Homo-oligomer: A and B are copies of this chain.
Amino acid sequence: MTFDRELRFGDCDPSGIAYFPAYLNILNGVVEEFWAVIGFPWPGLIVVRRIGVPTVHLTCDFSRPSMFGDLLTFDLRVCRIGRASLHLTHVVSGPDGMRWRARQIVAATSLATHHAIPWPEDIRDALLAHLHADEGAQVTPA
């Protein structure tokens, strides 16, 4: 699943290139859009069902800088579904190839207790339908 984003002036820093916290703000918006695409827009998930999906782990490698005005493609893959976790990989590319990539783990969380909860069945089914079909994909039985 891919998402296009244009890097904005306000996402860049005085050295002229993308400010990495701004990159992660954009990434979070991409993940938000992913949830809407698979049928679980965050207003319903977070406000109505009171389920959060906070990031518990993040690894990023920034290979080449980007500057404002650059058109970037965010490639998102579901690579593992745990009982209460979701592993995503992100590859962010410009016209000339990869700029950075990330691995992210989010955890299903009750917003009442801020503790992890198992994925509800409907959400788990939607995530399974988008599990990336390669040798590394993994699923923990519910």
Report which A residues bind B (CB closer than 8 A).
Answer: 8-10, 12-17, 19-22, 24-25, 27-29, 32, 36, 41-43, 46-47, 52, 54-63, 65, 67-69, 111, 114
Contact = CB atoms under 8 A, between A and B. Distances in A.
Given A9-B28, A58-B58, 7 more contacts: A13-B14, A14-B16, A14-B46, A20-B24, A21-B22, A21-B27, A55-B62
A80 to B, nearest CB: 17
A16 B111 contact: yes
How many of these chains are in the complex?
4
Given A62-B55, A65-B114, A28 B16 contact: no
A51 to B, nearest CB: 10
